[in-house]
């Protein structure tokens, strides 16, 4: 389990355009790495739209935003196009990114247990260390809270 102050795991983040980035490739920048269950679902759409609405503010604070789910790059691109999203979305098809950040967890819905992505956000400082962690995120007001923390770095 990762803790605040730990070095952020250096994972490769595949992007919808066929390119990729990595946490190490973001050295010297603030990174908001948020994990969400699935593209184009109500909570995930609201979260992506909230980060998009504040994208310019995050940029002014020197932060880049990357959302991660297990959706394919093609599905991410459709999601971006449908809602005009300004956040980068990375695909974690094999689950390695979720495993590295401890966001692939057992969940329960209507008495049924299953594995899924924990809605979580990691604020990574310019030094590559995790400055803040939010687990079991409630979408309402979350982007504002993350922005305030990013401005404090």
Label residue 135 by pLDDT band (50, 70, 90).
very high
Residue 50 lies in a domain: yes
- Residue 32, pLDDT score: 98
pLDDT tens for each residue of 68-83: 999 999 999 999 999 9
Residue 91 sits in a domain whose CATH number is 3.40.30.10
Residue 108 has pLDDT above 90, yes or no: no
In a domain, 131, yes or no: yes
Surface-to-core class of residue 48, CB atoms within 10 Å of its CB (0-12 exposed, 13-18 middle, 19+ buried): buried
Which of 8, 32, 44, 66 is an active site residue? 44
Determine the average pLDDT of the residues in 11-16: 95
- How many C-beta atoms lie closer than 10 Å to residue 39's C-beta? 24
Average pLDDT over residues 63-70: 98
- Provide the number of structural domains found in the chain: 1
- 5 occurs within a structural domain: no
∠ at Cα 48 (149, 86), nearest 5°?
90
The verdict on residue 62 lying in a domain is yes
Looking at the domain assignment, is residue 111 inside a domain?
yes
**pLDDT on residue 18:** 93
Q: What is the pTM of this model?
A: 0.95
Residue 44 annotated among the catalytic residues of the structure: yes
Predicted local distance difference test score (pLDDT) of residue 44: 97
In the predicted model, is pLDDT for residue 15 greater than 90?
yes
In a domain, 3, yes or no: no
109 has pLDDT over 90:
no
Domain that holds residue 101: 12-151
Mean pLDDT of 61-68: 97
Q: Tell me if 51 is assigned to some domain.
A: yes
Phi and psi angles of residue 19, each rounded to the nearest 5 degrees, phi first: -85, 180
CA dihedral (81, 87, 92, 96) in degrees, to 10, reads 180
As a whole number of angstroms, the distance between CA 143 and CA 89 comes to: 16
Q: What is the mean pLDDT of the chain?
A: 96
68 within a domain of the structure (yes/no): yes
């Amino acid at each position: 389990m990762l803790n605040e102050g730990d070095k952020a795991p250096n994972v490769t983040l595949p992007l919808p355009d066929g390119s990729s980035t990595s946490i190490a490739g973001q050295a010297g920048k603030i990174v908001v790495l948020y994990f969400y269950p699935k593209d184009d679902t109500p909570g995930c759409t609201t979260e992506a739209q909230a980060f998009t609405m504040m994208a310019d503010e995050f940029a002014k604070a020197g932060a880049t935003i990357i959302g991660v789910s297990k959706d394919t790059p093609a599905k991410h691109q459709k999601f971006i196009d449908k809602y005009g999203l300004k956040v980068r979305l990375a695909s974690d098809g094999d689950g390695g990114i979720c495993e590295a950040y401890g966001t692939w967890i057992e969940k329960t819905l209507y008495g049924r247990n299953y594995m899924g992505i924990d809605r979580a956000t990691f604020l990574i400082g310019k030094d590559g260390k995790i400055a803040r962690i939010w687990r079991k995120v409630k979408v309402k007001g979350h982007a504002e809270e993350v922005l305030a923390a990013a401005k404090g770095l």
